[in-house]
Amino acid sequence: MDTLTLTPIAYYRGPFGSKFGLPRQSALAPDIEGRIVFEEPYRVREALRGLEGFQRIWLIWGFHANRPAKGEWQPTVRPPRLGGNTAMGVWATRSPFRPNPLGLSAVELVRVDGLELIVKGADLMDGTPVYDIKPYVAYADAYPESASGFAAAPPQASLQVLIPQDLPFSETQREALAQALSLDPRPAYQRDSGRTYAMPFDGADVFFTVTEDGVLTVTGYSKL
């Protein structure tokens, strides 16, 4: 029985403390910045040698939130991309609900910062365990013309986002918020204009409303 037990080599630290608002693929919010913090005994400089030559890295990580109970498994899932109404085979999706709950993301390696990695574009929650890091090798990994089924076109930013200047966000936070919110984090089954939504972000709750004609306004925030 070729079982394999993985131990986290690192954890991802980023602004999204929950699934709400988290981009669903790494390409969707390229400006969201995060940090890879290695665990002992993997927190050593030599293990990073040569990494700065690569623009991107692969993260193989664990869906540690919303994980189905061990052994529970459904052969089909209903991707949010298809409105949640169409069942697709689990192997045809990147759904977290899969027999071995591994995630795979190509993220930008912004820089090596001491013994940590600064990355952009990760679709990982804060605190996600990372099991492996590999260099992105264009000749082996990049197939831009590869037919991609129901996921051929990326989901489009659908909302105009307004973040009042008097809210105390940094420039980096504003960019990340604008990207994530423009993708419309509201559940497909619950999109009420007038309603106030709260999204956990960088240790605060960010409140917003959305009008019927697609304008999202950040109305406030509160530290958690």
Among 92, 162, 188, 224, binds its own copies (CB under 8 A): 92
Query: Token pair 């605060």 is at which residue?
Result: 204
Nearer to its own copies, 152 or 222 (CB): 152
Among 40, 69, 85, 152, binds its own copies (CB under 8 A): 152
Interaction pattern, residues 185-204, with its own copies; x per rule: CB under 8 A: --------------------
Neighbours of 131 (CB within 10 A): 16
Among 72, 114, 139, 165, binds its own copies (CB under 8 A): 139
- Cα dihedral 94, 100, 106, 109, rounded to 10, equals 150
Are 61 and 12 contacting, i.e. CB atoms less than 8 angstroms apart? Answer: yes
Interaction pattern, residues 45-84, with its own copies; x per rule: CB under 8 A: -xxxxxxxxxxxxx-x-x-x--------x-xx--------
Q: Which of residues 166-185 bind its own copies (CB under 8 A)?
A: none
Q: Which of residues 119-138 bind its own copies (CB under 8 A)?
A: 129, 131-138
Cis status of the peptide bond prior to 41, with omega within 30 of 0: yes
Closest C-alpha among 116, 117, 123 to residue 94:
123
**Residue 177: helix, strand or coil by DSSP?**
helix
- Cα dihedral 39, 41, 42, 46, rounded to 10, equals 140
85 touches its own copies (CB under 8 A): no
Q: Residue 188 corresponds to which tokens in the numbers above? A: 């497909």
Contact region with its own copies (CB under 8 A), list: 146-154, 167-175, 193-201, 214-222: 146-154
Smallest separation, CB 41 to its own copies (Å): 7
Nearer to its own copies, 104 or 215 (CB): 104
Nearer to its own copies, 10 or 199 (CB): 10
DSSP category for residue 156: P
